[in-house]
Structure 1
Amino acid sequence: MAFALRGVPGLRGLHDLRGPAAVALAYTLVQLVLVVPGTGLGWDETVYVSQVSPDVPAAFFSAPRARGITYLVAPAVLLSSDPAVLRSYLAVLSGAALFLSLAVWRPLLPARVLTVAGALFAGLWVTVLYGPQAMPNLWVAYGVLIAVGCFLRAAASTSAAGSRGALAGLAAAVCGVALMRPPDAVWLVFALGASALVVRRWRRPALLVVLAAGALLGAAEWLVEAELRYGGVVPRLRRASEIQGHLGWYPGALLDQLHALDGRTLCRPCGPEWRWPATGLWWFLVPLAVAAGLVVAVRRAAPAAREALLLAAVTGGVLAVPYLFLIGYAAPRFLLPAYVLLALPAAAGVSALAARGPVLLGAVACVALGHVAVQYSVLDAAVERSRATRAAFARVAEQLRAEGVRPPCVVSGHEAVRVAYRLGCSSRQVGGHDHSLTGGALRAAARERPVVVLVAEGHPVPAYAGDWRRLPLQPLPGLSAFRAHLAPMPSFSSTVRQHDIRKTTSNRPSSG
């Protein structure tokens, strides 16, 4: 198996991208068929989407978050409040982004390796599940794949025009990563910057300048917000660490990430139970495939292709470090940027193995089929949970709407963000990391608008809501017994106020 560094493909070279294009198209269609129909917004998604929704007050935006994904979803959210519109928009966009990020690597690696790499990445249940979701991690993955590819092309370019184009792509990609998740951009810049210093041929000041400039430009909004809302970058980082359970040395996070592969989208903590160990078998195959790909690259590949696979493996490993060892909980989406880079050397290894004869080709095909079957079993269960969650929140919203809870209104307590979004209300909390008002202020608000406090079974009623009417609610996922405490409804003597309420109610968003 031979690799060669080729020129940038023009129109004549587009046929080389048919494999990656087919993978990207299949990835989009799978999302549209299996994930988009009937799924609603998760808690994090609701926070991001509410920032630009014209029908719903913005939910509290905590210190660890960045607004990149909000900007990305804004066109669809402004067009419609229907989650299906947002899901379809992101499904198409994520498929296009997968193709673009693979195409950047075409001058560096053979089309068959890129096709296999795209299939390995797009075949993961977590990649398919988050393709149409308003979450930043998948877009960070595309950004880092483009960034590493453009870095290599800029370092290898012998023409001024080619160098300028690759540097512009590198700047844009790093900027996009920083806009989505500034901490990930720091690790990316560290990996690529250190590589530029270690490899003599890559010691170009322009690479370091572009890396720094792209990261600063992308993180500019986050940095300004840190100054305005938190009093500086350090206080915001400190607050972000508190919300995430105090970042530090957590070697057990690696095991949590392994356990989370059984379909749990968030483990905080995962606990010792591993419900379906078969879902994690592929994790043990990845290092073997990556090692095989690197061995093939060292022995047979052209120097440029060898460097490309080595840098992809190193950068992918660096991006995985914080989520495997430095955070005390797990979510499979955190590792998407590492997976997409490791897919390149893994694809080289799988391709080399499959080319060694029909027996090995058959073995690879059998393993691939088993892997896909497991991945889509996990995906199906995750999607069904999302659909059930959407239906449950819709029932709760209808219950509260029937009790007169309509905009302008305030919802507080357990799952306030998602319930408020479906009612068109504000979500405000008296405690926790999104503390934004006092109990007295909430009671004062109840004199002007409907106010609801949501309480899970086993939790005491807050003192400020102790005399409010109790309403048992339909169960929500994870909360078998759930109730609302409704403040006495304010009397609106003004016909203008009544008109405002009717007008706001008529514009409320669909339950999603």
Structure 2
Amino acid sequence: MADGVNAILVDGRSDEAAKASRTPRRPRGDALIAAVAGVFTLAQLVLVHPSMGLGWDEIVYISQVTTHHPAAFFSAPRSRGVSLLVAPVASWSASTELLRVYLAVLSGLGLYLALRAWKGLFPPRVLATAGAFFATLWVTLFYGPQAMPNYWVAIGALITVGCALRALGGPESRRMRSARGALWGAAAGALLMALMRPADAVWVSVPLLVLVLVRRHWPLLLALAGGLAVGGGEWAVEAYAWYGGLGERLRRASEIQGGLGWNIAVDDQMRSLGGRGLCRPCTGDMPHPLVTLWWPLLPAVAILGAVVAVRARRATATLVPLACAVTAAVPYLFLIGYAAPRFLQPAYALLALPVADALWHLARTGRDRRRPVAATLVALAVAGHLAVQFSVLVGTVNGNVDSREDWARVADELHRLGVRPPCLLTGHESIPIGYYTGCSSGSTGGNNENTTAAEIVDTARRIPVAALTGPGGTPPAYARDWEPHHITDLEIRVAPPG
């Protein structure tokens, strides 16, 4: 009898152990990528000063939803995604520090969710390494807490491609609930990309759409197309409401970007790696070779990762993000005549996965005697890479802090001259200086044309108006009789009252 009772107890414990073993536990991989995302958030707050003033493009996006500043001109290529992203803070607060903290936390959460979309497709160590690589690029750290779209296109790209691969046949997609979640994730990622930059979303999605058509996975095709359509819908509606149609807006957007066509901008992108936010025109010397070395090595290591994956018979999870990275980079390497390092963030995010896979392969392969040597070389390469990235980041942050403080100083001087809200600024850097002054901005030509000389003169009869002229420039004809003042390197002519 005792034996029978013991048998029952043992069986009961065995059943409990079996149930416990089947109970889902928080995977170690989640903790790894959460740690990477957390460190990324903290690094932004430490290395990119939350008090750093708003940049030109940030001002355009944020001013669309603020109640304390006039809205800046919103040109044809831009989309409203960033304005929606910052609205929960910018719609009621003028605090730059609060906005920076909000965006840093949000970007860390975005990185965590984007990496989590790849669970089951790569080992946790590879996902954490990929996230760490992308998060430590100076361009990622610099733009993470800023109101700019490219980082969020990168996050959307990771989510879209990862979820699409899981829906197509990843290890977890066999479960119906997981498959539905992957479809929703792919749709959400596509929507996020299209909200931020519709054209970029299409370029990223091209290889996925081809693969989906080949596989005839119609639910996934619907999810991707639906996400792109919903995300880009506002941009298309606005095209018909303000520009006379989608074709006209695309034409105007191309014109503002210098005309889309065959333009080799590879060298321009390399010049921008030294910390130039916008390289247009992209002249001057190349940065030091140590600063640019990582850039040509990146695709080479990614290709090595693809070779490793093919040999291991797990090619799809590596080749698809590699293909999406290539199509994401094509317009910015070969179709526009200028460069900005942030343009390639989606490509960097997608390349990070095969790069991380290759690094782990290099560190762990070889004979026992050679493995420590290989691991040491990889560690030294990573350390050198981090040193370069942080060096460029510090210089970039300091330079931008100085330039934005200059705008604030000009605004203070304009206030002293009597140019106070409501007011209008025109000419050189009128959009950022106008924001810092609390004025509207106007331009009679160029990419931000939104008024005429006659309208400016008429406005000057009612509110303070000032015309800004940059170094080497000449004041506009309508302002040549206005009183000149010199502030920093600007000539500012203030219209007489009335």
| TM norm structure 1 | 0.89
Q: Is the 8 A contact 2:205 2:324 kept in 1?
A: no
Displacement of 1:298 in angstroms is 1.7
Q: Between the two proteins, what is the percent identity of the paired residues?
A: 51
Displacement of 1:276 in angstroms is 2.1
Aligned to 2:74: 61
Asked whether 1:193 is paired with 2:206, we answer: no
Query: What amino acid is the match of 1:424?
Result: G
**Which structure 1 residue ranges, 5 or more long, are not aligned?**
1-8, 475-480, 491-512
Aligned to 2:286: 274
Displacement of 1:391 in angstroms is 1.5
Displacement of 1:307 in angstroms is 1.1
SS of aligned partner of 1:427 = strand
Q: Which moved more, 1:348-357 or 1:140-149?
A: 348-357
Q: Is the 8 A contact 1:143 1:177 kept in 2?
A: yes
Q: Is the 8 A contact 2:254 2:260 kept in 1?
A: yes
Aligned to 2:19: none
SS of aligned partner of 2:27 = helix
| TM norm structure 2 | 0.92
C-alpha distance in 1 between matches for 2:40 and 2:177 = 33
**Which structure 2 residue ranges, 5 or more long, are not aligned?**
1-21, 366-370
Aligned to 2:355: 346
Within-5 A mapping of 1:412-427: 412-427=426-441
Counterpart of 1:23 (choices 5, 29, 36) is 36
Counterpart of 1:112 (choices 125, 129, 140) is 125
Displacement of 1:272 in angstroms is 5.1
Counterpart of 2:312 (choices 288, 300, 305) is 300
Aligned to 2:457: 443
CA RMSD across the alignment: 1.4
Q: Is the 8 A contact 2:424 2:439 kept in 1?
A: yes
Q: Deviations over 1:456-484 (max 9, x none)?
A: 1322221111111101112xxxxxx2111
Q: Is the 8 A contact 1:469 1:487 kept in 2?
A: yes
Aligned to 2:342: 333
Aligned to 1:153: 166
SS of aligned partner of 1:12 = coil
Q: Is the 8 A contact 2:110 2:155 kept in 1?
A: yes
Aligned to 1:180: 196
Counterpart of 1:102 (choices 115, 119, 136) is 115
Displacement of 1:10 in angstroms is 8.6
SS of aligned partner of 2:25 = helix
Query: What amino acid is the match of 2:493?
Result: H
Q: Is the 8 A contact 1:36 1:132 kept in 2?
A: no
Counterpart of 2:475 (choices 461, 483, 490) is 461
SS of aligned partner of 1:162 = helix
Aligned to 1:473: 487
Query: What amino acid is the match of 1:398?
Result: D
Change (3 A) 1:417 1:11: farther
Q: Is the 8 A contact 2:258 2:337 kept in 1?
A: yes
Q: Is the 8 A contact 1:68 1:179 kept in 2?
A: yes
Query: What amino acid is the match of 2:442?
Result: R
Aligned to 1:504: none
C-alpha distance in 2 between matches for 1:11 and 1:483 = 67
Within-5 A mapping of 1:64-75: 64-75=77-88
Q: Is the 8 A contact 2:154 2:346 kept in 1?
A: yes
Displacement of 1:343 in angstroms is 0.5
Displacement of 1:221 in angstroms is 0.5
Count matched residues: 469
Counterpart of 1:487 (choices 465, 474, 495) is 495
Within-5 A mapping of 1:215-294: 215-251=228-264, 253-271=265-283, 273-294=285-306
C-alpha distance in 1 between matches for 2:276 and 2:23 = 43
Asked whether 1:312 is paired with 2:328, we answer: no
Aligned to 2:140: 127
Q: Is the 8 A contact 2:44 2:142 kept in 1?
A: yes
C-alpha distance in 2 between matches for 1:294 and 1:459 = 52
Asked whether 1:35 is paired with 2:59, we answer: no
Displacement of 1:255 in angstroms is 1.2
